[in-house]
Structure 1
């Protein structure tokens, strides 16, 4: 739904009110970013676990990466993780940590005041997104994304924080099913992004391949949009369905190239999901503080926060941590983060945008 223009004076007043709720942004000239790192790390985790179960010694990680480049990537789960760094780790955490989750009540929606507060913030973010300018992109072009972030390695049985690493991705906008979806460059290696697992004829535009053309066809009414996501988001036994919808939308926020009307509708749809909260001290991988929109996955004990710039409400990145003690760590322990550095449209995969 297109953001409503309440006039410059009203908009300025809303911005001022929001600024009072937030801590000042840190003084840093570093740019934002992060993406496909989670996909590679999760694949390493799966391979290492399989190797231990079969009594094999660990294989060379580089050889595994080359092997995976020729087959569909299992770790992209519900969507390409380079488009969804915030959700890639959260969904992976739900799968890895789920069996260790302690018994607990359903996710709380908080007080009426808290619900009203997060709804107001999301409406402001929606309004800002609806007023944004869409980057022009053709079907023969690529969405370029550069980012940085940290992962947590769980192979030892405890959460081990990895280093801050940068990666770049180029994602095809071609219509119809595609077997080669783009390229990912990280750690000096450039690999293809292949079709989703099971897509023998190629992956079609949709939740797993959110092209601009597909996104422009989505309903913009928040309730209709949320209902549609409920239809197209895969269902798993025992999952928190509200969390699944939060993650599905999070897979697009800030990492797909969203038409302004679609972006506005998505944020208003998030306001309809029970359990979504506002956090005043959210921080991305570069240490920038901003507006936090979060939800706790009670099944895995992981909270994921989306971080937005306190000035223009643009997406900065995400962070994640444990909400209770688990065998992998204690309540409050870090579980990964990211920051967006650059998003652009380019004519060829593997080529950086012109400065």
Structure 2
């Protein structure tokens, strides 16, 4: 109805929940935990927008803008209405990494091998290159700075429409936490704080979804043990193969932070043990830079993820994820997400750019 009082009521978390419950179930399977969190992220942006409008009215108390950011691989802009339906689909996923399937997705890697063929050989070289990198100690009072280019798919209409290439800078604090401010993002001329997810308003500690240098250093450097940990801590899903979830998780971890060399080497060795990983000799990042690469295709759902490394020093350049066949999301070849890392360094102050030569 068009009652003035109800139509002007500020949007709250309770109201958003009511909307989600009233919507019919979506015509897709469960979302992965990462995609579920992303949809929730975008819904909260819409809620905050409505709150800000309400606060702008005479006599209202200003509410301050919120920017709540996930790792770049999880960002896809959608509107609040579409998000509420997506949230309904994602309620089956728990926040602690458990999900459908074998009790949290833990995988027995006792018989895992080093990785065969060209992909295993390449990842072995990449692992050695990472191990030979000069170790850089990152203090807890410092920030990891990353400057990147990215493109992402807007799925508002139900079809993936890839947005133009954008630039982004991110500063991530290295304190173990729990933290109520998770960092700073600068994009489209705005600098906005990165705030905790729902349920973590009291602070988010360091961990898989807020990795820090010290947290990385606490992980096992044995690739079998590391892979077992990652399979146990990532959710299974009806919309993505679990092997693909872990493959994508490793990429987001190695691209978004700085870690001790022995841990970086372990992540690449672990990736070589994931079934289906192949060499991608023609891999390019989202800006077109060509290097040597590896890839994994989710054949069940028609998505392929590629990682690109510099052909000379084997440093990470970027990644792309795109459709390998026509699906409900779009036509074969549609880009779902792509990134290119241009600069990554440790800085002492949030918002500060690294100096040349640092």
Q: What is the SS of the residue equivalent to 2:182?
A: strand
Distance 1:238 1:145, change over 3 A: closer
Judge conservation of contact 1:144–1:343 (CA < 8 Å) in 2: yes
Q: Distance in 1 between matches of 2:248 and 2:287?
A: 22
- Partner SS state of residue 283, structure 1: coil
For 1:174 and 1:310, how far apart are their aligned partners in 2?
34
Give ranges in structure 1 of 5+ residues lacking alignment: 1-37, 52-58, 100-113
Checking the alignment, whether the CA contact within 8 Å between 1:322 and 1:333 is kept in structure 2 is yes
Structure 1 residue 89 displacement after superposition = 5.4
- Conservation of the 8 A alpha-carbon contact between 2:38 and 2:75: no
Deviation at 1:67, TM superposition (A): 7.8
| Per-residue Cα deviation, 1:175-203 (whole angstroms, up to 9, x for no partner) | 23111111011001111111233123211
Map of 1:227 onto structure 2: 228
Deviation, 1:151, is 1.7
d(CA) in 2 for partners of 1:159, 1:237: 19
CA contact (8 A) 2:278 2:296 kept: yes
Compared CA separation, residues 299 and 146, structure 1 to 2 (3 A)? same
Match of 2:167 in 1: 166
Is 2:236 the partner of 1:250? Answer: no
321-330 vs 235-244, greater mean Cα deviation:
235-244
Match of 1:30 in 2: none
Aligned twin of 1:280: 281
Q: 1:255 to 1:126 in 2, by over 3 A?
A: same
CA distance in 1, matches of 2:152, 2:127: 29
Q: Is 1:318–1:338's contact at 8 Å kept on the other side of the alignment? A: yes
> Partner of 2:127: helix, strand, or coil?
helix
SS in 2 for 1:253: helix
Distance in structure 1 (CA, Å) of the matches to 2:313 and 2:63: 43
**2:126 matched residue in structure 1:** 125
Change (3 A) 1:333 1:303: same
**1:341 is aligned to 2:327:** no
Count of paired positions: 280
What are the within-5 Å matches in structure 2 for residues 15-164 of structure 1? 46=43, 69-70=65-66, 73=68, 80-81=70-71, 85=72, 87-88=73-74, 115-164=116-165
CA distance in 1, matches of 2:235, 2:215: 18
Distance in 1 between the 2:160 and 2:303 partners? 12
Q: Secondary structure at the match of 1:282?
A: coil
- Separation (CA, whole Å) in 1 of partners of 2:173 and 2:295: 30
The answer as to whether partners of 1:283 and 1:289 remain within 8 angstroms in 2 is yes
Deviates more, 1:314-323 or 1:235-244: 235-244
Conserved in 2, the CA contact under 8 Å of 1:172 and 1:182? yes
- 1:11 paired residue number: none
Q: Once the two structures are superposed, what CA deviation does each residue of 1:222-250 show, in whole Å capped at 9, x if it has no partner?
A: 10110111222234466522112112211
Structure 1 position 166, deviation (Å): 0.6
Structure 1 equivalent of residue 261 of structure 2? 260
Q: Deviations over 1:289-321 (max 9, x none)?
A: 111211123454221111111111000011121
Q: Is the 8 A contact 2:41 2:197 kept in 1?
A: no
Structure 1 counterpart of 2:100: none
TM-score (normalizing by structure 2):
0.70
**CA apart distance, 1:43:** 6.8
Cα distance change of structure 1 residues 47 and 241 upon mapping to structure 2, 3 Å threshold: same
- Aligned match of 2:271: 270
Q: 2:196 & 2:37 partners in 1: Cα distance? A: 15
C-alpha offsets along residues 94-140 of structure 1, whole Å, 9 cap, x if unaligned? x97xx9xxxxxxxxxxxxxx941111111011110111113332100
Q: Which runs of 5+ in 2 are unaligned?
A: 1-34, 55-61, 79-84, 90-114
- Does the 8 Å CA contact 1:115/1:277 hold for their aligned counterparts? no
- Contact 1:45-1:154 within 8 A present in 2 as well: no
| Cα shift at 1:44 | 8.5
Distance in 2, matches of 1:347 and 1:47, equals 30
1:206-221 maps to which residues of 2 (within 5 A)?
206-221=207-222
